[in-house]
Amino acid sequence: MSLPLPRRQNSAGRLLEIVNRAQPSSNKSAIDGWAEVFEVPDNVTGLERQHEVSKLLSVMTQEVRSMERQLRSQGVGDELLGGYVDQLAQSAAVGNLANHWQNLVTNHLGSEVRLSLRWFNYVLPEEALTASVEDLRQLEELLTDLESKAGAEGVPPSLSDFIHRQVAAVRDALRQYPIGGPAALRSATRKMAADIALDEDEIRHAARGGDPQSVAATGESLKQVWKKASEVAGDVEKFAKAGKAVLDLGERLVAMLPSPTPPT
């Protein structure tokens, strides 16, 4: 995650940060323009680049509609919303990716749309759950550590593959955080907990085929990732109410290992 977080974390604040980064350029495609705004790495090219941009635009569209629902619930009518919300939604339409970036910004993200977002940002309350740049940096560091431990010698391939899928899901949610807030991260952490509960037999079988210390280190690292991600997503207390067994993901993974054979 490298996009800056807004000063006021709400739907309008996140959208305003994105729109402010959208500067017109005549020699750029809409795909490249959005990729630059979303800071998609340069080594993501071709269809993968288009897929990543389309996915992030879908998150942006959901955020536009969420902002609209919140404003309407506060009594903001069409005369104040005007066509600004629709212009934002149009700018994120996948069909507009074939256009030139300059035309897209000029037609859909002009000064009036930016002014409306500043007003929407002022009207909407700041979200109770906010993450700092430091929180997101720490989570990225924990993901890197987990990825390293899962790839270490002694971790069975099937267990390593399971861990890498979880890392990919959390990283994907982390990229979406500056656009859509904690929703994707909340889904990723809940899915991780569900996957571990549902695939317990397969995980136990895989763990028994590995080095106990390597598997235990991976389990502890997995737990730290899940706890930090759940903290950022605001789910720790909810999971705590569901039971200690769900929280202790690392211990559950370690407990799947066979007991070491005592020396003779």
Q: Percent of the chain at pLDDT above 90?
A: 52
Q: Evaluate if residue 140 carries a pLDDT over 50.
A: yes
| Cα gap 231→91, rounded to integer Å | 33
Lowest-pLDDT choice from 128-132, 148-152, 189-193, 206-210: 128-132
Lowest-pLDDT choice from 17-26, 56-65, 166-175: 17-26
Domain closes at, from 123, 158, 189 = 123
Domain closes at, from 101, 123, 145 = 123
Domain count, the chain: 2
Query: What pLDDT band is residue 5 in, cutting at 50, 70 and 90?
Result: confident
pLDDT at position 106:
93
| Cα gap 67→120, rounded to integer Å | 8
| Cα gap 252→197, rounded to integer Å | 9
Closest CA to 139 of 224, 210, 81: 224
Q: Evaluate if residue 55 carries a pLDDT over 70.
A: yes
> What is the rounded average pLDDT of the residues 80-99?
90
Establish if 16 belongs to a structural domain: yes
The three-state secondary structure class of 177 is helix
> What is the rounded average pLDDT of the residues 128-157?
90
Give the count of beta carbons closer than 10 Å to the beta carbon of residue 91: 23
Q: Evaluate if residue 262 carries a pLDDT over 70.
A: no
Establish if 6 belongs to a structural domain: no
Domain closes at, from 67, 96, 123 = 123
Alpha helix (H) residue ranges in the chain: 11-21, 30-37, 46-73, 78-81, 84-91, 101-108, 111-123, 133-150, 157-180, 183-198, 200-208, 212-233, 236-242, 244-247, 249-255
Q: Evaluate if residue 77 carries a pLDDT over 90.
A: no
251 and 147 co-located in one domain: yes
pLDDT at position 142:
96
Cα dihedral sign for 70, 75, 77, 82? negative
pLDDT at position 239:
56
Residue type, 182: P
pLDDT at position 212:
85
- Write down the residue that tokens 């899928």 correspond to: 165
86 touches 109 (CB < 8 A): no
pLDDT at position 131:
78
Establish if 94 belongs to a structural domain: yes
> Largest alpha-carbon pair distance within the chain?
83
> What is the rounded average pLDDT of the residues 200-204?
81
199 touches 217 (CB < 8 A): no
Strand partners of residue 100: 29
Q: Evaluate if residue 152 carries a pLDDT over 70.
A: yes
Q: Evaluate if residue 113 carries a pLDDT over 60.
A: yes
pLDDT at position 260:
44
Establish if 15 belongs to a structural domain: yes
170 and 98 co-located in one domain: no
Establish if 35 belongs to a structural domain: yes
Q: Percent of the chain at pLDDT above 70?
A: 86
Establish if 212 belongs to a structural domain: yes
239 and 138 co-located in one domain: yes
> What is the rounded average pLDDT of the residues 191-210?
82
> What is the rounded average pLDDT of the residues 101-114?
93
Q: Please, what is the angle between helix 212-233 and helix 133-150, to 10°?
A: 160
Domain that holds residue 240: 133-255
pLDDT at position 259:
47
Establish if 180 belongs to a structural domain: yes
pLDDT at position 230:
86
How far lies 129's CA from each of 39, 126, 192, 230, in Å? 24, 9, 21, 12
Q: Evaluate if residue 250 carries a pLDDT over 70.
A: no
81 and 145 co-located in one domain: no
80 and 165 co-located in one domain: no
Query: What pLDDT band is residue 249 in, cutting at 50, 70 and 90?
Result: low
Establish if 4 belongs to a structural domain: no
| Cα gap 135→126, rounded to integer Å | 18
